[in-house]
Structure 1
Amino acid sequence: MKSIYLVGFMGSGKSTVGKLLAEKLGFRFVDIDQEIEKKEGKKIKDIFREKGESYFRDLEKRMIESFLESKNLVVSTGGGLGADSENMRKMKENGTVIWLDTPLETVLDRCKDDDERPLLKKDRYELEKLFEKRKDVYAQANIKVNTEGKSPEQIVNEILGRLR
């Protein structure tokens, strides 16, 4: 079976849902952010600080490309990776893209104590603009799942039902 790519804003549950979904499908789970940290030998926040966001986005593009030909994967993408039109097109050509649509308020609540996410350093207005801009690309996904008020298990079951 082709791979499944989970997209959505930071804190939307891509990693949590991805692990559960992979388990249910008997697929391998890949977290692009973790793969980048492993390859670079440092945390994403340190990559951002030392080399900048554009360097990191280039790493994301190269990393996702290394998994595009793979089968039977559930891939958790970083929030910015899935918001890039070129990446979206490539993922859709090679698998099914699922957008975990989560309201900004929920995301901010989930991430409030997380100092590992460089983009959370932006002010509220900048985050809202980024969120709205990214939604335009996320909306190109094959499947949109509204996550509000649902447990990870409920989200996985909805995805499984929609994949059939």
Structure 2
Amino acid sequence: MKNIYLVGFMGSGKSTVGRILAEKLNLNFVDVDQLIEEEKKMKISDIFKKKGEKYFRELERKRIKDLSKKENLVISTGGGLGANRENIELMKKTGLVVWLDVSLDEIIKRCKGDKNRPLLNQPYENLKKLYDSRKPVYKMAHIHIKTDNKNPEEIAEEIIDVYLHRN
């Protein structure tokens, strides 16, 4: 089976939905952020502080390139990884790309007080600008699922329905 890539803004539920999806489809689950943290033995927020965002984005790019050579994976991408056109094109060639679309207000509610999300620690206007700038790339995904007011199980079932009808 081809991979399933979950893209979307931070806090959209990629990891939570991804774990459920992998379990239901009997596939392996990979969280790119977690992979990077384990490899570098540092939290993402520390990588941002010590090495910078550009360095982190390069780590993400390398990881997705490696993962795209494998199959039978459900992959939770970081919010910025799926907002990069080159990355999304690669993912589209090697699997099904699903955009978990959640409103900015819902993201803020879900992630309030989360110190592991370095890009959330900025004024609302800047966050909105970042959110809006990523949407055109997220829209390149094969599937677009609005996730506000849905629980992770419902979202996973919706993805499974589309996935099974495409393969």
TM-score tier (shorter): over 0.9
User: Which residue of structure 1 aligns with residue 70 of structure 2?
Assistant: 70
SS of corresponding position for 1:78: coil
In structure 2, stretches of 5+ residues that fail to align are: none
Deviations 1:56-95 (A, max 9, x none): 0000000111100111000000000000000000000111
Counterpart of 2:130? 130
Cα offset, 1:46, TM superposition: 0.4
Which runs of 5 or more residues in structure 1 are unaligned? none
Matched residues in 1 for 2:148 and 2:113: separation? 20
- Per-residue CA distance 1:15-53 (angstroms, 9 max, x = gap): 000000000000000000000001101000000000100
The match for 1:157 is: 157
Matched residue type, 2:76: S
Cα deviation, residue 13, structure 1? 0.1
Measure the CA separation in 1 of the matches of 2:4 and 2:154.
17
Structure 1 residue 161: deviation in Å? 1.2
TM-aligned CA deviation for residue 109 of structure 1? 0.3
Amino acid of the structure 1 residue aligned with 2:66: S
Q: Which residue of structure 2 aligns with residue 61 of structure 1?
A: 61
Aligned length: 164
Matched, 1:82 2:82: yes
Q: Which residue identity lines up with residue 122 of structure 2 in the other structure? A: K
What's the TM-score, normalizing by structure 2? 0.97
- What TM-score do you get using the length of structure 1 for normalisation? 0.99
Percentage of identical aligned residues = 54
Letter of the 2:129 counterpart: K
Secondary structure of 1:133 counterpart: helix
Give secondary structure in 2 for the equivalent of 1:71: coil
- Structure 1 partner of 2:148: 148
CA–CA separation in structure 2 for the residues paired with 1:22 and 1:39: 22
Secondary structure in 2 matching 1:6: strand
Paired AA for residue 22 in structure 1: A
Please, what is the CA RMSD of the aligned residues?
Answer: 0.5
Within 2, Cα distance between the matches of 1:162 and 1:95? 13
**What is the distance in 2 between the residues matched to 1:116 and 1:148?**
22
Counterpart in the other structure of 1:26: 26
SS at match of 2:109: helix
Q: Show the 5 A alignment for 1:1-12.
A: 1-12=1-12
Question: What secondary structure is seen at the aligned counterpart in 2 of 1:155?
Answer: helix
Q: Which residue of 2 aligns with 1:45?
A: 45
Distance in 2 separating the partners of 1:58 and 1:142: 24
Mapped partners of 2:61, 2:55: distance in 1: 10
